[in-house]
Chain A
């Protein structure tokens, strides 16, 4: 009969000794670091090529070209419309300014006329004779 069989603590101590930690194989850390570095660079490469690889498919490539062309056409039309609207707005503004200037000069003339009439009219005489004396 073994002592471990009689005393559970002895068995546990023997187990602790049997499954104690062992040193990792030589160069373990370096191997892990090398693999981690490799993993990093692979991940970076995958990230770089992932979006470019989309264009390797013809359908996607042509779709992208079409999308860019349509976007450019829409942009050009929009820009031209904007320019035309701006030019129209500018012309309308000029016309309004001209109309205002004309109206202003007309008003000025009218004002001068009124002033002229007012200054040339004689002062009215006061009427203080009674109806009895006139007869």
Chain B
């Protein structure tokens, strides 16, 4: 989210209960980590760490919009750090694990395969796809969270979509969504 929007927000964070913030944003933070790492235990640990960091940083945050922006940003950076620290290999499509949570789509197979395809994307494009389609964020907002130019975000999105479309065609050519 651009800095201007954060400053404009009138919500006062001083009276907000930390437990309430955890309840409200647990799904968001956990899901970003889960879709990025595709490992429930690691995703839970990372999400807990993010909220602990929020607990320490909360007095410096000015509004609830600021908290949301901060949570997305810290989660995204922690996901990348976590993967690099663990030296997790880049998952190839064939090696991508089955998603832990079964997709609840009209066609669970397609959703599950798409989760695998997303997990096989490189770090930054994967995060961009997750933020775009899980959080429904605009490229401008994703650019602010990941501290990168908007054009780069758009380019990653286009290439990722082309890649995913290609994978869908190659592996599920006979399946109709």
Interface residues of A (CB under 8 A from B): 1-5, 8, 10-12, 14-25, 28-29, 31-33, 35-36, 39
Q: Are A24 and B103 in contact (CB under 8 A)?
A: no
Residues on the B chain within 8 Å of A2, using CB = 168-169, 172-173, 175-177
Given A11-B164, A35-B52: A22 in contact with B101 (beta carbons within 8 A)? yes
When A14-B177, A39-B52 are in contact, do A22 and B168 touch as well, CB less than 8 Å?
A: no
Bound CA–CA A1/B23 (angstroms): 42
* SS class, residues of chain B in contact with chain A: helix
Instruction: Tell me which of A14, A22, A33 contacts B27 (CB under 8 A).
Output: A22
Interchain nearest-CB distance for A42 vs B (Å)? 11
Task: Give B49's nearest chain A residue, CB to CB.
Answer: A35
24 intermolecular pairs with C-beta atoms under 8 Å apart? A3-B176, A4-B165, A11-B164, A12-B133, A14-B177, A15-B114, A15-B133, A18-B112, A18-B118, A18-B133, A19-B115, A19-B134, A20-B31, A21-B27, A21-B31, A22-B27, A23-B27, A23-B30, A24-B27, A24-B30, A24-B44, A29-B23, A33-B22, A36-B18
Contacts between chains A and B (CB distance < 8 A), count: 112
Known: A4-B165, A5-B169, A28-B30. A18 touches B105 (CB 8 A): yes
Q: In the complex, A39 Cα to B134 Cα: how many Å?
A: 31
Could you tell me the distance in whole angstroms from the C-beta of B46 to the nearest C-beta in chain A?
Answer: 12
Chain B residues within an 8 Å CB radius of A29? 19, 22-23, 26
Q: Helix, strand, loop or mixed for chain A's interface?
A: helix
Q: Please, what's the 1-or-0 string for B26-47, where 1 marks a CB less than 8 Å from any CB in chain A?
A: 1111110011000010001001
By a CB distance below 8 angstroms, the chain A residues around B22 are 28-29, 32-33
Check B151 for interface membership: any CB of A closer than 8 A: no
| CB pair B118 A36 closer than 8 Å | no
